[in-house]
Amino acid sequence: MNHQFYEDWILSDQKLNMAEKKLLSEHLDSCEQCQNLKTGWVKVESALQSAKYVTPAPGFVTRFQTFQQTQTAFAHRKQAIQSLIVTGVSMITILVAFTIWFFLSYSPANIIVNLVAIATGVIRTATLFKTDLVLFLRSSSASFPFLFIVNIVGWAAIFLILWLLTIWRFTQHGVKNNEN
């Protein structure tokens, strides 16, 4: 028996005429295989029909986008904080190194050279800091103002203290040199 012919009718969307319906009906009565196909196909069709009406809950897309944005913002903020820490440590190391080097120098020529070196170091670290600040500002949202303020005030304080300390020590050395 050729089932293919009936299977095509069962699975196709085309409307059957009366004669075709009769033929199919007769075949289904005598063929369990095609009956099973018919029953299965009806279930699949009804499942597909109901699936059309299963739409995401309202605001799903917005929520997903917000989630993605939060994830991205968090990654950026983490990166910015890491970058700030690295820059801060580098800045302090450079400043301390230059300060120590500067304190160990007594000749006026050396002081001038070292002052230039300190200025260069400060400018370099300031530039690095500015880059990090821009990055941090971009990644900071209104939900993190406290962290942001703490960072800015913290770095500003460290910078100011080290700078004032350097100037103060330079003044002390300058007075000593004049007395000698």
Residues that bind Zn ion (CB under 5 A): 3, 31, 33-34
- Cβ proximity to Zn ion, 25 vs 33, nearer residue: 33
Q: Minimal distance in Å, beta carbon 46 to Zn ion?
A: 22
Closest CA to 131 of 180, 71, 84: 84
Q: Minimal distance in Å, beta carbon 34 to Zn ion?
A: 3
Q: What is the dihedral of CA 117, 120, 122, 128, to 10 degrees?
A: -140
3-state secondary structure the chain: CCCHHHHHHHHCCCCCCHHHHHHHHHHHHHCHHHHHHHHHHHHHHHHHHHHHCCCCCCCHHHHHHHHHHHHHHHHHHHHHHHHHHHHHHHHHHHHHHHHHHHHCCCCHHHHHHHHHHHHHHHHHHHHHHHHHHHHHHHHCCCCCHHHHHHHHHHHHHHHHHHHHHHHHHHHHHHHHHHHC
Q: Minimal distance in Å, beta carbon 19 to Zn ion?
A: 18
Q: Minimal distance in Å, beta carbon 31 to Zn ion?
A: 3
Q: Minimal distance in Å, beta carbon 47 to Zn ion?
A: 23
- Cβ proximity to Zn ion, 33 vs 131, nearer residue: 33
- Cβ proximity to Zn ion, 34 vs 95, nearer residue: 34
- Cβ proximity to Zn ion, 33 vs 107, nearer residue: 33
- Cβ proximity to Zn ion, 5 vs 106, nearer residue: 5
